[in-house]
Every structure is written in structure tokens, then in C-alpha cells.
Amino acid sequence: MKLKLAILGSGSGSNMQSIVDAIEAHTLDAEIVCVLTDVPDAKILERAARHHLPGRYVSCAPFRTKLDGAAQEETIRLMREAGADTVVLAGFMRIVKPALLAAFPNRVLNIHPALLPAFPGLCSWKQALDYGCRVAGCTVHFVDAGTDSGPIIVQKAVPIEPNDTPETLHARIQVQEHIAYPEALRLLSEGRLHIQGRRVIIR
């Protein structure tokens, strides 16, 4: 089924770019129907404009770390109006609340720069490096009411090299993110993802 994606991002939008590239290469059956950001000058809006995708800033004040209240209602309204059936959190640095999850049940996905459940939260690649891990990575998962805690769809491992800095490690994790997100969305579009409790069964 052709997915109608609403993308929510706060930053550069490289994950959105990987999804745009997969759609344009006809390896993902999807359409991006809106791009929303909580950061007025986020680069993701420039990328959206470059690909003629409708992009928009939604002020999330007074909240700093969550999408709640009127801003969440407005976000839901804009996504519905655009005809979205799937919400893609692509570097969206806010916690979404139950109203949004209820509006798109089992259709909100997130990408996180760690092998969950290790290192939820911020700057996870740095957390993995500081911890002394040998392997880091990324996770695409369904979003639930917790923080970075929903059922896991795809994970990619990235070995940590002796000379890695947070920047070099994050750059290599991002290379894998750009493979993982289109892969997870492809599985969703093919109707192959089945949530059973905590587990996602791929058929």
C-alpha cells in the first residue's frame, strides 16, 4: 500500500532525504504529504522546499522537550488535512504525547541513534562511546507512550573504532540510519510488519 507520510524533524533532515531518495528511486512506495518542524530555521525545511514538499513550522511553545497541548493538536490537524496515514519522526527532538499516538495508532515511527534499549535519550552515540561500547548503531521502532521504548522494527550495528570521536561515530551511524529508515518503511508499505506485544514479526 502506498504510504502517505508526514515527516516531523528538528534538524538537518538527512533521514528525510534518504526517504525522498528511496521514493524517487522507486524502491519505496510512499509519498511525503507534509513536513513539519518545531525549529523555524531547520534545514529540513530547505530540503523539503528543494523537493517541492509542503513544509511548515509549528511553534511548540511553551514546552521545550515535548509536543503537547495546542501545538500537538495543530500538528495532528495539519497531518490529517494533508492526508497522512503514517507519522515519521526523523530527528524530531520532542516527546510526542498520547493524543498523537491515538490519532495514528501503530503508525508512528522513530529513528534513534543507538541499539535500543541501550542509550535512550539525547546524544546516544556519545553515551555509547563514553560507556566504552565496542558496537553502537541505530534503531527504527514504533513509538509508544515511553521514551525510545516502542517495538523494534530494524536495527543496524556500527563497530566503534579506537580513534572514534562523537562526530566520526555519529557520521557512521547516520550512514546506517539512511539505509534503516527506508527499509523499515518498505516493510510497512508491504504490509509485512505485525506487532505482537513487544515484538514486531516480519512476514
Hey, which residues are catalytic here?
Answer: 112
Count of all residues that appear for the chain in the document: 203
Q: Could you say whether residue 12 binds ligand GAR (CB under 6 A)?
A: yes
Q: Could you say whether residue 141 binds ligand GAR (CB under 6 A)?
A: no
Q: Could you say whether residue 176 binds ligand GAR (CB under 6 A)?
A: no
Q: Could you say whether residue 155 binds ligand GAR (CB under 6 A)?
A: no
Which is closer to ligand GAR, CB of 22 or CB of 90? 90
Task: Select from 21-29, 105-113, 155-163, 188-196 the region that touches ligand GAR (CB under 6 A).
Answer: 105-113
Whose cell is 557520521? That residue is 171
Residues 61-90 that bind ligand GAR (CB under 6 A): 90
Residue in 7, 20, 88, 111 binding ligand GAR, rule: CB under 6 A? 111
Lookup: cell for 148: 525510545
Residue nearest to ligand GAR (CB): 91
Distance between start and end Cα atoms, the chain: 15
Buried b (16+ CB within 10 A) or exposed e, 58-73: bebeeeeeebbeebbe
Which is closer to ligand GAR, CB of 71 or CB of 88? 88
Q: Shortest Cβ distance from residue 11 to ligand GAR (Å)?
A: 3
Q: Which positions ≥6 away from 36 have C-beta within 8 Å?
A: 6, 7, 8, 9, 55, 56, 57, 58, 75, 78, 79
Long-range contacts of range 100-104, CB-CB < 8 Å, 24 or more positions apart?
A: 100/67, 100/72, 100/75, 100/76, 101/143, 101/144, 101/145, 103/76, 103/79, 104/79
Q: Could you say whether residue 139 binds ligand GAR (CB under 6 A)?
A: no
Q: Could you say whether residue 150 binds ligand GAR (CB under 6 A)?
A: no
Q: Which residues contribute to the site for ligand GAR (CB under 6 A)?
A: 9, 11-15, 90-91, 111-113, 174, 177
